[in-house]
Every structure is written in C-alpha cells, then in structure tokens.
Amino acid sequence: MKLAEAKAQFIQTWGSLGAQWGINRTMAQIHALLLIMPDPLSADEIMQELNISRGNTNMNVRELINWGLVERILVPGERREFFSAEKDIWKVATYIAKERKKRELDPIMKVLNQLQDVEGEAKDKYVKSFKDSIQNINKFAHHTDKTINSFVKSEESWFYSTLLKIFK
C-alpha cells in the first residue's frame, strides 16, 4: 500500500470512529492528520489536505487545543501559527478520559447525590425501587470516578518522574 492511500484511509477511519463518539468528524480528522505528520502544520496546510474551509479548520483546531490534544507551535520568524498533536497515544487517552469525566461523569454524580433523598415511605414499592436504582448507580459512578482518577494520576506522576530524570 502506498503512503498517500494509507494516510487517506487512516484519516477517514479515525474520523468515523470519532463520529460514533460524539466528537465531530472534522475534529477527529484533523487530529488524525496531525498524528501522522512528523512536523507541525499550518492552518492552510490542514485546509488543503482535508479540503475543508478556513472557518471549519479554525473552529475545530481550537476545540482540539481545548481538549489538550493539540498544541499551538510558534516558529520564530514566522507569522503563521502551526499545530501539532500529542503523539503518545497513552497520554491522548488520559486527556480524553479527563475531559469526558469533567463533561459527563461529574454532572451526573452531582444529580445522583441530590436524588438520594426522595421523600416517602420505604414500603412504597415505587419509592423503594427508585432509591435502590439510584444507590446502585451512585456506587458504580463512584467506583468509575476513582478508577479514572487513578488512571489520570498515574500518567501525571509518570510525567513528574520523567521530568525528575531529566534534571537529576
């Protein structure tokens, strides 16, 4: 298989994977492109490679930066900005885990905690069933929260220990 063909295929596969995840297609495609390119790209290069408009490029690159998946690179003597993706997929996974926890798990945990104290006779089967379900989900959510935290933590401490090695 030729590089150009493989590249196109990878970009489109990553894109449709992203779409299934509620991440928009273009955002995933830009990420894929930056993942496989050795050097940072400018906005114009991204536009050309993916055949998308300037506005679209700008918007999605910004969102990727928000997620911590892409970095803005300033080249001395260049007015244009360049963009580069984090290449270590383990780190990518922790950034995503962190972001999704913040957007999805944290809000539902807040609601679940409020829903714990429903008024009413514990003998009423509707009240009982409701309370049981909420408690069950709440336990699971706490467990998941701990698991994600320790996953994210392990990557952070990996970072500090690497830093330490560099300066020792």
Cβ(16)–Cβ(25) below 8 Å? yes
91: CB partners within 8 A, 6+ apart: 155
The only residue of 21, 75, 80, 147 in contact with DNA, by rule CB under 7 A: 80
The SS3 of residue 121 is coil
According to DSSP, the β-strands at 70-74 and 41-42 are unpaired
Instruction: Report if residue 73 touches DNA, rule: CB under 7 A.
Output: no
Instruction: Report if residue 108 touches a second copy, rule: CB under 8 A.
Output: yes
* Alpha carbon 60 to chain centroid, angstroms: 13
Instruction: Report if residue 12 touches DNA, rule: CB under 7 A.
Output: no
Distance CA(75)–CA(50), nearest Å, equals 23
The only residue of 56, 73, 138, 152 in contact with DNA, by rule CB under 7 A: 56
Binding site for a second copy (CB under 8 A): 1-3, 6-7, 9-10, 13-14, 17, 19-22, 35-38, 87-90, 93, 103-104, 107-108, 111, 114-115, 117-120, 125-130, 132-134, 136-137, 139-140
Binding site for DNA (CB under 7 A): 19, 24-26, 42-44, 51-56, 58-62, 79-81
